[in-house]
Structure 1
Amino acid sequence: MPANPPKRPADRPDELYITRVYDAPVSAVWDAWTDTEQVAKWWGPRGFTLTTHSKDLRVGGHWTYIMHGPDGTDYPNKTTYYEVEPGRKLVYDHGASDDRPPLFRVTVFFTEEDGKTRMDMTMSLATPEAATEIKKFIKKAGGEATWDRLAEYLGKERAGKELFVINRTFSAPIETMFEVWTNPDHFSQWIPPTGFTMKFIRADIRPGGSTFYVMTGGNNLTMYGRAHYIEIARPHRLVYTQEFVDEQENISRHPLAPTWPPAMLTIVTFTEEGPDKTRVTVEWQPHGNSTAEEIATFVQSRAGMTMGWTGSFDKLEAKLAAR
């Protein structure tokens, strides 16, 4: 088993940090990072594709590639490796090209924990101001979705599951985050899509319990839904299913996407990243019997799901800040 990464010092204003946990051993995660055929299936924000021209994974070696944006724009990149410890650590520059200096230095550790892999990444910049600007740029470009796409890729390769994964770190204690997910008064204020409001008709949030709710939006659109709670492990984990229903709670379909899977499984994991910092990981997947067409609709909708969850998370972030 690889040695644990060194304990991270207190957050520095000229650095950005990302931690993820993947349901795969270190060997699988390392291969997904370093094998050019595998990395092409997940590297970059949603909608981007990748062409590798050369990769020399050694100290002093380079990875030369082009990221192709969904609008057709090409982004040449030339990574230089400074440390390569197979299965444990990479240090490299990111964002450079032949005529452009790197944006930042990356240090990433891979640590096996109970058969899973924890990825700890530090992005080091020249100044705190540069770190602030890069953080804004990464958020606008959807760059953190790269690491969610890796989770989806690993889920598909190892378990044959089509997943949607999204993470967000909030400046709030873990108990607060659990509360805003399980208290209907809080949950209904931030979870609806932008432009919608939500009202609970019934809220019995406990293992074996269920909720029944209605969302209303523009153009007089009304959607009814129901959730069944499978697992509630305060304050670290929620598992529930969701389905569209009509006003009498009869099973229905998504009013705007008739080939959307009839039921979804949601797994929410809360992880402490500090006394007042919590990472929320949402894993979404079709539940029960879904047709090939419904699975395809789900897979093709990941970009839209990212936008929807990002809008909800932005509202939650504002709500937490107001408290």
Structure 2
Amino acid sequence: MTGTGFEYTLTRTLDAPVDQVWAAWTTADRYAQWTGAEDVTFDVRPGGAWSSVMVIPGGARIPLSGTYTEVVPHQRLVWGMTVPGREEPVLMTLDLSADGDRTKVTLSQTFDAAEERDQAEQGSNMLLDSLTNYLATA
């Protein structure tokens, strides 16, 4: 992620080994379990496509898609998401760092406007909450 704009970075340490956290982000059926997404397809490699339909509270269905730009197994995942009205995809970066049986997770994104950033940051916090709950019962 380069450029200027409005960025957020979220960091959490999860009570799960890095391989479990990696699998939660990169295995379609596991991702669907903790995000509540439907119709999830992943081709986790640079240039590989992904898609899902997020079901948000209230039942609205939001189709999402994009491509992976960087994949370093068990360490780093960077993917773009196609956003209507934008020429360039919005990139999200996930960095993982093993700490024994725990994993430090860092999510970051950059946006052109503060409002976009704030909405994405709220959504990412909700994702990390869901991931934390999923891993506690996995």
Same fold, TM-score > 0.5, yes or no? yes
- What secondary structure sits across from 2:131 in the alignment? helix
Equivalent of 1:59, from 37, 46, 49? 46
Once the two structures are TM-superposed, the CA of residue 50 in structure 1 deviates from its matched residue by: 0.9
Contact 1:52 1:63 in 2 (8 A): no
Q: What is the correspondence of 1:33-72 to structure 2 with a 5 Å cutoff?
A: 33-43=25-35, 49-72=36-59
Larger Rg: 1
Q: TM-score, normalised by structure 1?
A: 0.38
Q: What is the correspondence of 1:40-189 to structure 2 with a 5 Å cutoff?
A: 40-43=32-35, 49-94=36-81, 96=82, 101=86, 104-125=90-111, 127=112, 130=113, 132-138=114-120, 142-157=123-138
Q: How many residues align?
A: 134
Equivalent of 1:17, from 9, 16, 35? 9
Q: TM-score, normalised by structure 2?
A: 0.85
Once the two structures are TM-superposed, the CA of residue 137 in structure 1 deviates from its matched residue by: 2.0
Q: Distance in 1 between matches of 2:9 and 2:40?
A: 29
Once the two structures are TM-superposed, the CA of residue 108 in structure 1 deviates from its matched residue by: 1.5
Q: Distance in 2 between matches of 1:14 and 1:26?
A: 29
- The runs of 5 or more residues in structure 2 that have no matched partner are none
Q: Whose RCO is larger (CA < 8 A, sep 6+)?
A: 2
Q: Distance in 2 between matches of 1:70 and 1:122?
A: 24
Report percent identity of matched pairs: 29
Q: Distance in 2 between matches of 1:106 and 1:142?
A: 12
Once the two structures are TM-superposed, the CA of residue 153 in structure 1 deviates from its matched residue by: 0.5
Change (3 A) 1:16 1:147: same
Contact 2:11 2:107 in 1 (8 A): yes
Q: Distance in 1 between matches of 2:56 and 2:39?
A: 15
Q: Which amino acid aligns with 2:71?
A: V
- The runs of 5 or more residues in structure 1 that have no matched partner are 1-11, 44-48, 158-323
More strand by share: 2
For the aligned residues, what is the CA RMSD?
A: 2.1
Q: Distance in 2 between matches of 1:88 and 1:68?
A: 28
